[in-house]
Amino acid sequence: MNNITLVICAYNCEKYIEETLSCIINQTFQNFDLLIINDCSTDTTIQLIHEFFKKNPRHYDILTLVENEGIANARQVGLQEAKTKYLLFVDSDDLPHPTLIEKQFTKIISDEHIMAVSSWSQFIDLQGKRIRGGLFVGSVTKGEFLSLASKEKLVFLPVQTLFNRETALKVGGYRLDGFPLGNVRYRDFCEDLDLWTRMSDLYKEEKYIITIPEVLYSYRKSNTGLSSNAVSMSLKMKYVKQNLKLRRKDQKELTFSNFLKSVSEEELDDIRKSAKAGYYLRNGFFLLKEYKILKGIYYLLKAITMNPKQFYQKIKANSGILK
């Protein structure tokens, strides 16, 4: 019996799914179950998956959901349906490097106190070409994690994090309830941040999460403009932080609906300003990449002026310069 389930949540990913599956079957470690959650795709995604495995025989299971309910629900289904000790999600348009599973699995079984193992990521564009930046986040030592967890810090990790399934279920899995109805599906924003941060409560039992400081994953990134998503993500992060503080005081958590009612207009204005600074920062780097130097520098200066702390945090997490 395998110890790992690799889960791909697939929704209308016909452009990229075959490239992702090629990376899966080329992993140096193959002793894992492969579960694909079909979140009601309306394109040729599922047909392409079947055709791929006819040409590249490997056992896999596809679970088709009754209706499209978003990534948080799909991940929770994967968490509940898997039967193995460990779980790993790979996004349907990303490219795991050949030794990803082998290195993360070797690390997680080296110490029973490790709840999860992650790694660094590099960014690729929609055509799969390497672009500047990546996700260089996560504690690289046990001591670093325990220190940060004890200080009530949020735990930011990329998708390719191998984690103990029972531990994730113990802290509640992916949060689905308590969100308002409407056009914004708040539960799909920072759903993994919420889970990792709740798992961090177990630091008191010497449990910890560690990151391998090596690029083992390519994350596909598009250059998107300013949208309500940035504001929604900021609200969700603020919610996760508030519940973290409440749990550490042994107080009852808030539902997101109740949290949203408590956010003042002044706080919303600050969040909108932060989102705008993020827009200038993100697009400033893309403009520099396109050799639009003056406009790129102008955008970066606006980002620094509007939110210098955010600029530093993004440089640290996404450039690799300060690692």
Q: 171-224, pLDDT tens digit by residue? A: 999 999 999 998 899 999 999 999 999 999 999 999 999 999 999 999 998 765
Instruction: Give me 260's structure tokens.
Output: 């949203």
Between 265-289 and 228-248, two packed helices, what is the crossing angle to 10 degrees? 120
Q: How far apart are CA 176 and CA 22, in angstroms?
A: 32
Confidence at residue 307, expressed as pLDDT on a 0 to 100 scale: 72
Per residue in 243-297, pLDDT (tens digit) is 999 999 999 999 999 999 999 999 888 888 877 777 777 677 667 767 788 887 8
Average pLDDT over residues 34-43: 97
The pLDDT value recorded for residue 45 is 98
Cα distances from 215 to residues 13, 107, 109, 299, in angstroms, run 24, 15, 20, 28
Element (H, E) at 217: strand 208-220
> How many residues are listed for the chain in this entry?
323
In angstroms, rounded to a whole number, what is the distance separating the alpha carbons of residues 316 and 307? 15
- Which residue did the predictor score with more confidence, 298 or 119? 119
Percent of the chain topping pLDDT 70: 92
d(CA 108, CA 142): 12
Determine the Cα–Cα distance for residues 295 and 308; give it in Å rounded to an integer: 19
Which tokens in the block code for residue 34? 């492969």
Average pLDDT over residues 101-110: 98
Residue 323 clears pLDDT 60, i.e. is over it = no
3-state helix, strand, coil in the chain (%, to 5): 45, 20, 35
pLDDT of 322 over the 60 cut: no
- Determine how many CB atoms are found less than 10 A away from the CB of residue 84: 16
Check residue 288 and give its pLDDT: 74
Distance CA 76, CA 169 (A): 9
310 pLDDT higher than 70: no
Mean pLDDT of the chain: 91
Given a cut of 70, whether residue 24 has pLDDT beyond it is yes
pLDDT of residue 267: 87
Reported confidence tier of residue 313, pLDDT bands at 50, 70, 90: low
What's residue 226's pLDDT? 45
Assigned token pair, 309: 């702390």
Please check the confidence at residue 225 and state whether its pLDDT lies above 50: no
Res 315: pLDDT: 61
- The predicted model scores a pTM of 0.88
What the chain holds in terms of domains, given with CATH numbers, is 4-220 (3.90.550.10), 228-318 (no CATH)
For residues 301-320, average pLDDT = 67
- Beta 86-89 vs 162-164: how paired, if at all? antiparallel
Please check whether residue 308 is in contact with residue 281, taking contact to mean a CB–CB distance below 8 angstroms.
no
Look at residue 287 in the predicted model and tell me its pLDDT: 72
- ∠311-315-318 over CA atoms, to 5°? 125
CB 180 within 8 A of CB 186: yes
Lowest pLDDT segment from 31-40, 148-157, 311-320: 311-320
Strands 32-38 and 61-64: parallel
Tokens of 283: 């697009």
